Amino acid sequence: MKSEDDTILAEAARWHIASGDDAMDWDAFTLWLEADPRHSSAYNEVALTDGLLQEYRDTLQDASEPLADEPLIAVNDAAPLETALETASEGAEIIRPAFGKRIRWAGFAIAATLAAVLAIPQFMAPASQVYETTAASRQIALEDGSTIMLAPRSSLTVEGRHQDHMALSGGALFDIRHDPDRQLTITAGGLRISDIGTRFDVQAQDKRVRVSVVEGKVEVSSERLTAPVQLAAGKRLSFDGDAGTASVAEVRSEDVGAWEKGRLSYDNAPLALVVTDLHRYAGVEVAVPDALRDRRFSGTLVISDGDAALRDLAQVMGLRLGGRAGAWRLEQPAS
């Protein structure tokens, strides 16, 4: 039995079990699936197994104790010691799904469905355009002359007759022309950003969103915020949808959208966020233990070489970079 496959299957089983819980971290699961195409197959097999288990539930339950005269097949001849070790180590490598965090979508929850039928033409007719980037960024030109630079590994959906409704996952630098007749709305990780003509950058990963304004002014609102926030030039709003917190800080305009020029600048940013950006912009994956996720980083990383950026980050933060290319880990040094 190849041990690598065994690890994958153990992880797949962990994800499958976690998926039964409301607190399942679907974004982390997505990353896990993306990391290796074998992950999806392994997950399928585990989930199909569970499906069969439920399908045959009645049959299996009746015979809950195997009959003594029935030949018993030892499927996996594991010695007790091995079992103990396996149980202890299984899933140790996996990004732990976070439990206990829950967002209430009170506004959405009371869902009246009658009008849904009427909604079909609106949803379907102005065909939405989906822009997705892989390793390279991409410029998107809107009909009114506005431009959007979509970051690598990001996705932007543009909808509405006036291209005025967008949904972003990942990063993008918006350069929007002023048009009094139109208000642009961007949804990203639980935030709504409204704009009348400005230049601003949005980074959205999971429920963490950063909005940085270079010119003009935007309005940011969310179910999680008591009131909309007006964000002026030179300001950055950092929103954490899980914690339900938002903070506004100064930002240097030359640092906004600097990813376009190959660097990422931070001021007191949580390590988890920096690592997410490094994945998006430099294509490197690194695991961060929970204890380090909120460690703060300030500084600039050059992202032309992802592994080098990672080494720089580890050095500045006094952490150790363990593992190997493709499976890096940031660790607290022993001493």
Partner 1 sequence: MESEEYGDANGLVRLLDVHRPELLRFLTARCGSADEAEDVVQEMWIKVSGQATGPITNGRAYLFRMANNLVLDRARGRRRSMQRERTWLEAEGGGVAHMPEDRADPGEPADEIIAREQEAEVLRDAIAALPEGAQRALRLYRFDEIGQKEIADIMGISRSGVEKHLALAMKRLRQALADCGAFDAAASREHGDPGLNQGQGGGKPHMEQGR
List the interface residues with partner 1, window 247-306 (CB under 8 A).
Answer: none
- Confirm or reject binding of residue 333 to partner 1 (CB under 8 A): no
**Among positions 138, 144, 177, 185, the unique one binding partner 1 when judged by CB under 8 A:** 185
DSSP string for residues in 294-314: T-EEEEEEE-SSHHHHHHHHH
CB atoms within 10 A of CB 212: 25
CB 150 to partner 1: min, Å:
11
CB 188 to partner 1: min, Å:
9
Neighbouring-strand partners of residue 165: 159, 185
- Confirm or reject binding of residue 243 to partner 1 (CB under 8 A): no
Which residues 124-163 are close enough to bind partner 1 by CB under 8 A?
Answer: 130, 132, 155-157, 159-161
- Confirm or reject binding of residue 169 to partner 1 (CB under 8 A): yes
Asked whether the beta carbons of 129 and 157 are under 8 A apart, the reply is yes
Nearest to 273 by CA among 301, 295, 303: 295
CB atoms within 10 A of CB 314: 18
Residues with Cβ within 8 Å of 7's Cβ and at least 6 positions away in sequence, in order, are 93
CB atoms within 10 A of CB 215: 15
Q: Pairing relation of β-strands 320-324 and 263-270?
A: unpaired
| CB closer to partner 1, 83 vs 304 | 83
Size of the site for partner 1 (CB under 8 A): 101
Cα separation of 73 and 101, whole Å?
A: 42
- Confirm or reject binding of residue 53 to partner 1 (CB under 8 A): yes
Asked whether the beta carbons of 216 and 196 are under 8 A apart, the reply is yes
| CB closer to partner 1, 116 vs 327 | 116
Build a one-symbol-per-residue string for 66-95: x at contacts with partner 1 by CB under 8 A, - elsewhere: x----xxxxxx-x-x--x--xxx-xx----
Maximum CA pair distance of the chain? 83
CB 149 to partner 1: min, Å:
17
- Confirm or reject binding of residue 244 to partner 1 (CB under 8 A): no
Build a one-symbol-per-residue string for 217-236: x at contacts with partner 1 by CB under 8 A, - elsewhere: --------------------
Which listed range, 46-54, 140-148, 264-272, 295-303, lies at the site for partner 1 (CB under 8 A)?
A: 46-54
